[in-house]
């Protein structure tokens, strides 16, 4: 399994959808490579996954965010749905 980690987890902030995020444990051909993109792009990619891959996915953030009063840098499976529910209205990832 490939895992990404970043920075100081003690400085939690509100969600910055432009920060870097790695979506892991998602099939990309025959390789197990974490895709690093914006948090917005990673959440949109997760939304498009089938249920099996949604359940196995891990999302690692560049820095902590506050979700329900708890600072977190890593989300797995359905916990990513909490981020998806917090997406700003009309938010779409920028084309690469």
Tens digits of pLDDT across the chain (96 residues): 444 544 554 555 578 999 999 999 887 777 766 789 999 999 999 999 989 989 999 999 999 998 878 899 999 988 999 999 999 876 666 554
CB 21 within 8 A of CB 63: no
State residue 56's pLDDT score: 92
State residue 1's pLDDT score: 47
User: Model's pTM, two decimal places?
Assistant: 0.76
10 Å Cβ neighbour count for 31?
A: 7
> Residue 6 contacts by C-beta under 8 Å, 6 or more apart in sequence?
20, 60, 61, 62, 63, 73
């Amino acid at each position: 399994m490939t895992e990404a980690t970043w920075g100081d987890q003690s400085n939690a902030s509100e969600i910055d959808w432009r920060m870097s995020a790695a979506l892991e444990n998602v099939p990309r051909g025959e390789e197990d490579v974490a895709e690093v993109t914006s948090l917005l792009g990673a959440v949109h990619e997760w939304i498009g996954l089938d249920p099996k891959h949604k359940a196995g996915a891990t999302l690692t953030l560049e820095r902590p965010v506050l979700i329900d009063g708890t600072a977190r840098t890593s989300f797995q499976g359905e916990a990513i749905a909490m981020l998806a529910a917090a997406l700003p209205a009309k938010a779409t990832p920028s084309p690469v």
